[in-house]
Amino acid sequence: MDFLQNLELYGVTARIKRISDTLMHDARRVYEHLGLPIEPNWHLIFLLLKKEEQLSVTEISKALNFSHPAVINIIKKMKQAGYVTGTSDKSDSRKQLIQLTEKAKKELPLFERKWDKIEIAVGELFSDAFLKQVSLVEQKMKERSLLSRVQDIIAENAYEVTNTTLDDLEFVYWMYQEAIKYQKKNKYISWEEMDRDFLLKEIKNNQQFKMVKSSEIICVWGVVFSDPLIWREKDTGNSIFLHRAVVNPKYRGQRSFAKILNWAIDYCKQHSLDSIKMDTWSSNPDIIEFYKKYGFHVVEEYKTGNSKDLPKQHRNLDVTLLEYPIA
């Protein structure tokens, strides 16, 4: 068993380092076997100086994306072996221009023939698709560092979940009205209206939660721990029921439901509940598939009644009941 492979992304940096170390070790053995009197990491300098004729250490470092000290170390060894030399730049005497010696130019054709054989062997290890993926990773790392990405993720998840208050009522009601407009504009299945009195009751009973970031509401959702009017005998008393999740228009498309689900999972584990239950429109297969991608499965389809205990937007609806089991 390869422990690093089982770690998947957690082990990717270690696997890349392992591949690099193994290749460098093998390359030294290959060079020795082929009788090459140089170190494996010199060949890039040979090829670069063959193309450009002469470059400063800074220009070499930039072209190869190597650190300045690493390039200086390679150049020092190549000078000692007689393969490169340095001359002062006429326009700036402080800067040395590195170029190949006559010895290097004479031996380079032999080196290149042997490098061609090594390249064929390397091609057996790495496909074109792999090389394209390496280029993509390099480009992404140039655009944004790993540190920057981690900082953004931390900032994105710097939110608090708490109960809504009466002071939130107007904004919460506006969010639902905006959601209804958005659904109708895009010809999605939608609520016809939002029961304001029910929202008020929900807030007073601490049955509505909000996700807040920098004092701004990202989304809200309702929570109950019993829902006999819709779930009937399937309400076993050991679940949390999520209702009417709505997102602040400013935060659409930012995976708010994933955060709600994570909160609900943590809540269930802390309170020894065995599942998360939801209901949604049966006539909207896309939203059902959306929830299934998050791990919910369909329990059944059901038509709600006209009970006054149900909020207006939940009466006489064909709904699909969904459940997420807590492992």
- The string of pLDDT tens digits covering residues 99-114 is 999 999 999 999 999 9
Q: Is 164:220 a contact under the CB 8 Å cutoff?
A: yes
pLDDT tens-place string over residues 220-235? 999 999 998 889 999 9
Q: What is the pLDDT of residue 14?
A: 92
- The secondary structure of residue 306, as a DSSP letter, is -
* Chain segment 253-300, per-residue pLDDT in tens: 888 999 999 999 999 999 999 999 999 988 888 899 999 999 999 999
The first and second tokens of residue 141, run together, are 């790392």
Q: Which domains does the chain have, with CATH numbers?
A: 36-143 (1.10.10.10), 156-325 (3.40.630.30)
User: What does the pLDDT look like over 32-72, one tens digit per residue?
Assistant: 999 999 999 999 999 999 999 999 999 999 999 899 999 99
Task: Calculate helix-pair angle for 68-80, 57-64, nearest 10 degrees.
Answer: 120
Listed in sequence order, the residues at least 6 apart from 297 whose beta carbon sits closer than 8 Å to its beta carbon are 322, 323, 324
Structure confidence at residue 98 (pLDDT): 95
If one counts every other C-beta atom within 10 angstroms of the C-beta of residue 148, the result is 11
Tokens 């076997």, located at residue:
33
* Residue 170 half-sphere exposure toward CB, CA atoms < 13 A: 1
Q: pLDDT digit string (tens) for 143-198?
A: 999 999 888 877 777 789 999 999 999 999 999 999 989 888 877 777 777 888 88
Q: What does the pLDDT read at residue 327?
A: 80
What is the pTM for the complete model shown?
0.54
DSSP 9: G
